[in-house]
């Protein structure tokens, strides 16, 4: 009788240990950022976490706390409380239901604690202040990062461009690895489950882990393919925002679809050239993925950078300002961003400045006439009509020669 009780007790302990191991092996997902794109991707990840056996049901989403006035209310509420009670981000993604298993948390340490999958989706200029807290509350050796951030960092000493995913890896330490998710993904369309594609670029050291991460994002209306080229995918996501400014200028001036198509084609050439000039190992096939040409197309026909650039062009034409000084240009961008983006930030203007400064310092502006003129119109007050110079002065034969050597 005693032996039987011991056997039953041991069996129960073994089962409990087994279940604990299974539970501990489940991915704990945290989305760092809750703006328009962060909230949109939370709808996809939230649904997938509920159905995938290797994920905890709860998805945490760090929220930069703000006060919002809800419909019918006289007093403001915390944005995080509004998200958790209404299951909707009323400020950045109104009208779209967020899965109830997505929990908004305003304290960063609480949000990321013991997470095994970190999804970074916020303006990259905020990362330096956040990463120390994130590092202190996760185990970098058992945690993976995926950046949805479309921008570039620059080394303070060499002034050369640095991938944001690499900045995250360096700050996290302990061999932390960070991939990227980039693609033709307008946030509102993703949130409304309109069919689209995206590209996951990662190498987490195991095919099983790579596939796990892919499945966290992949669903019927959000098809995700995986490649190894993190560098090419991430750079494409940053550089296309610059080209989108040019597309917005074309739209604001009513220059037509032919001009816009030419601008997109030349933009892609300059993107490829920039990647190959400053980074090694970029695969040319990456530009045919969703993160490449597809993202460039959708950003040049939709998205916040094109939208604001169109408004910038129209405002200058309407006010009969053929030229503006640098201060007036920056002021106009700030006004448009405030009026049109509801608290969100433009990434194209920041990228245009950073890339221009890099190319100027290395005497390479003549190699990138389109990116050069986009900057000059945006910040030097050059005439809006000069946007076509970035297309006309492009040396097709020189580009073919250069790319043929890659």
Task: State the catalytic residues.
Answer: 240
Q: How far is CA 380 from CA 19, 35, 164, 166, in A?
A: 63, 30, 27, 32
For residue 351, give every residue at least 6 positions away whose Cβ sits within 8 Å of its Cβ, in sequence order, or none.
Answer: 151, 152, 238, 239, 241, 242
For residue 198, give every residue at least 6 positions away whose Cβ sits within 8 Å of its Cβ, in sequence order, or none.
Answer: 181, 182, 183, 184, 185, 217, 222, 223, 224, 225, 290, 291
3-state DSSP call for residue 393? Answer: coil
20, 64 in Cβ contact below 8 A?
no
User: Measured on CA atoms in the order 358, 363, 366, 372, is the torsion positive or negative?
Assistant: positive
Q: How far apart are CA 183 and CA 233, in angstroms?
A: 8
Structure token digits, residue 79: 């944005």
- Residue 131's CB is within 10 A of a number of other CB atoms, namely 18
Backbone angles phi, psi at 111, to 5 degrees: -65, -40
Backbone angles phi, psi at 89, to 5 degrees: -90, 95
Residue ranges of alpha helices (H) inside 177-255 are: 187-191, 207-217, 230-252
What is the Cα 246 distance to its own chain's centre?
20
Q: How far apart are CA 53 and CA 361, in angstroms?
A: 52
For residue 373, give every residue at least 6 positions away whose Cβ sits within 8 Å of its Cβ, in sequence order, or none.
Answer: 246, 382, 386, 387, 389, 390
Q: How far apart are CA 282 and CA 137, in angstroms?
A: 33
Structure token digits, residue 9: 């007790």
Classify residue 394 by burial, with Cβ atoms within 10 Å: 0-12, 13-18, 19+: middle
35, 94 in Cβ contact below 8 A?
no
Nearest to residue 340, comparing CAs of 378, 292, 306, 381? Answer: 306
């Amino acid at each position: 009788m005693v032996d039987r009780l011991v056997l039953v007790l041991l069996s129960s302990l073994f089962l409990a240990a087994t279940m604990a191991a299974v539970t501990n092996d489940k991915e704990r997902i945290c989305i760092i950022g809750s703006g328009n794109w962060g909230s949109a991707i939370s709808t996809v990840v939230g649904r997938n976490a509920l159905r995938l056996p290797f994920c905890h049901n709860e998805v945490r989403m760090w929220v930069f706390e703000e006060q919002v006035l809800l419909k019918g209310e006289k007093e403001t509420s915390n944005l995080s409380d509004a998200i958790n009670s209404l299951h909707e981000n009323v400020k950045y993604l109104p009208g779209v239901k967020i899965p109830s298993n997505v929990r908004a948390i305003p304290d960063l340490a609480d949000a990321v604690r013991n997470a095994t999958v970190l999804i970074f989706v916020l303006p990259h200029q905020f990362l330096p202040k956040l990463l120390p807290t994130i590092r202190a509350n996760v185990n970098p050796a058992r945690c993976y990062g995926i950046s949805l951030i479309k921008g570039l960092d620059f080394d303070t000493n060499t002034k050369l461009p640095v991938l944001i995913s690499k900045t995250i890896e360096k700050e996290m330490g302990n061999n932390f690895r960070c991939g990227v998710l980039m693609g033709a993904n307008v946030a509102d369309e993703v949130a409304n489950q309109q069919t689209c594609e995206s590209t996951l670029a990662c190498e987490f050291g195991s095919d099983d882990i790579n596939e796990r991460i892919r499945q966290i994002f992949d669903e019927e209306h959000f098809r995700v393919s995986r490649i190894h080229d993190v560098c090419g995918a991430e750079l494409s996501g940053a550089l296309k925002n610059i080209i989108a400014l040019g597309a917005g200028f074309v739209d604001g001036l009513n220059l037509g679809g032919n001009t816009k198509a030419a601008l997109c084609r030349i933009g892609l050439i300059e993107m490829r050239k920039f990647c190959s000039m400053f980074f090694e190992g970029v695969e040319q096939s990456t530009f045919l993925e969703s993160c490449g040409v597809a993202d460039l197309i959708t950003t040049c026909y939709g998205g916040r950078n094109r939208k604001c650039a169109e408004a910038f062009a129209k405002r200058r034409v309407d006010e009969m300002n053929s030229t503006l000084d640098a201060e007036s240009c920056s002021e106009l961008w700030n006004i448009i961003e405030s009026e049109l983006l509801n608290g969100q930030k433009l990434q194209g203007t920041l990228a245009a400045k950073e890339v221009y400064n890099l190319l100027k310092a290395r005497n390479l502006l003549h190699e990138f006439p389109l990116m050069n003129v986009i900057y000059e119109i945006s910040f030097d007050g050059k005439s809006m009509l000069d946007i076509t110079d970035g297309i006309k002065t492009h040396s097709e034969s020189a580009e073919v020669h250069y790319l043929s050597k890659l």
